[in-house]
Chains A and B, each alone.
Chain A
Amino acid sequence: MARKISQGVSRREFVKIAGAGTLAAGMGPAFLYQKGPQKTLKIIQWSHFVPAYDKEWFDTVFTKQWGEKHNTNVIVDHISLTEIPARAAAEVSAQQGHDLCMFLSPPAAYEKQVIDHREIYEEVQRKHGKPIDLAVKSTLNPKTNKYFAFSDSYVPDPGNWRKDLWSDVGYPNGPDNYDQLLDGARKIRQKQGNPCGIGLSQELDTNMAMRALMWSFGASEQDENGNVVINSKNTIEALKFMKQLYKDTETPEVFTWDPSSNNRAMLAGKASFVENAISITREAEVKKMDIGKQIMISHALAGPKARLASEHVMSCYVIWKFAQNKEGAQQFLVDFIDSFHDAFKASGFYNFPCFPSTAPNLKEEISNDPKADPPDKYKVLSDVLDWATNVGHPGYATAAVDEVFNTFVIPTMFAKVARDQETPENAAAAAEKEVKRIFDKWKTA
Chain B
Amino acid sequence: MAMTNRKLGVLMFSPAIIYVLAVVGVPFVLAFVYAVGDVKIASVGYHYVGLANFRSVLESPTFRRSLYDSIIFTVGTQVVVLVGSTVLSLALKDRFTGRGFIRFLILLPWVAPVSLGTIGWKWILDSIYSVINWVLVHLHFVRPFDTPMWLGEPTLAMISVIGVESWRLLPFSTVILLAGLTAIPRDIPEAAAVDGAGFWRTLFQITIPMILPIVNVAILFGVIFVFTDMTVVYILTRGGPYDTTQVLPSLAFFTGILGSDLAEGAAISIFLVPILVAVAYFMLRVASRAEVG
A residues neighboring B (CB under 8 Å): 1-14, 16-17, 20, 85-86, 89, 92, 109-114, 193-195, 200-203, 251-258, 261, 264-265, 268, 270, 399, 402-403, 406-408, 411-412, 415-416, 419, 421, 430, 433-434, 437-438, 441-442, 444-445
Contacts and interface: CB of A to CB of B under 8 A. Distances in A.
Interface string B34-64: 1000101111100000000000100111100
A255 B152 contact: yes
- Chain B interface residue number, banded: 35 or more
A92 B41 contact: yes
A203 B249 CA distance: 18
A11 B252 CA distance: 10
B27 A264 contact: no
A87 to B, nearest CB: 10
Given A10-B34, A10-B268, A202-B243, 10 more contacts: A5-B272, A6-B31, A8-B276, A11-B31, A13-B256, A17-B253, A85-B258, A92-B41, A193-B145, A438-B259
Given A1-B283, A441-B56, A10 B262 contact: yes
Contacts of A10: 31, 34, 252-253, 256-257, 262, 265-266, 268-269
Interface in B260-275: 260-262, 264-266, 268-270, 272-273
B198 interface: no
B123 to A, nearest CB: 11
Contacts of B239: 202, 408
A47 B256 CA distance: 24
B257 A13 contact: yes
Contacts of B24: 2-3, 6
Given A10-B262, A403-B259, A407-B259, A434 B276 contact: no
13 contacts: A2-B24, A4-B279, A9-B31, A10-B256, A13-B230, A14-B253, A200-B242, A201-B238, A251-B152, A255-B149, A406-B259, A406-B260, A419-B154
Interface of B: 20, 23-25, 27-28, 30-31, 34, 38, 40-44, 56, 59-62, 115, 126-129, 144-146, 149-154, 157, 224, 227-228, 230-231, 237-243, 248-249, 252-262, 264-266, 268-270, 272-273, 276-277, 279-280, 283-284
A316 to B, nearest CB: 14
A140 B30 CA distance: 32
